Amino acid sequence: EPEVTQTPSHQVTQMGQEVILRCVPISNHLYFYWYRQILGQKVEFLVSFYNNEISEKSEIFDDQFSVERPDGSNFTLKIRSTKLEDSAMYFCASSEEGESDTQYFGPGTRLTVL
């Protein structure tokens, strides 16, 4: 069964450093998403991406964040200058369509900012 994969599983970085989190969505899916879950808190939407552009973003997704689909398979989330409060589990998801279709989630990348 096709799955969303994410690398790395755990990333430790120093405050102020740039990180790139990588995702490989399910191959025939067209919509891509990033969510995050700060320890002990809700899963929060960050951004959705379709047809090579951002279709929706939350207030959390400020200028420090960017997303890219650099090739036909990868979908990345970049945080330019990490802050302590960026420490969280980051989940990538994809769906075949945007409307009623199901979003399938990857296993997550745990980001720790020191």
Partner 1 sequence: AQSVAQPEDQVNVAEGNPLTVKCTYSVSGNPYLFWYVQYPNRGLQFLLKYITGDNLVKGSYGFEAEFNKSQTSFHLKKPSALVSDSALYFCAVRDPSGGYNKLIFGAGTRLAVHP
Q: For binding to partner 1 (CB under 8 A), which residues are involved?
A: 4, 6, 31, 33, 35, 41-45, 48, 55-56, 58, 91, 93, 95, 98-100, 102-108
- Measured CA distances, 104 to 5, 59, 84 (Å): 10, 23, 28
Minimum distance from residue 1 beta carbon to partner 1 (Å): 11
Which CB, 76 or 89, lies closer to partner 1? 89
Minimum distance from residue 16 beta carbon to partner 1 (Å): 28
Minimum distance from residue 70 beta carbon to partner 1 (Å): 22
Distance spanning both ends of the chain, measured CA to CA: 37
DSSP 3-state percent helix, strand, coil across the chain (nearest 5)? 5, 50, 45
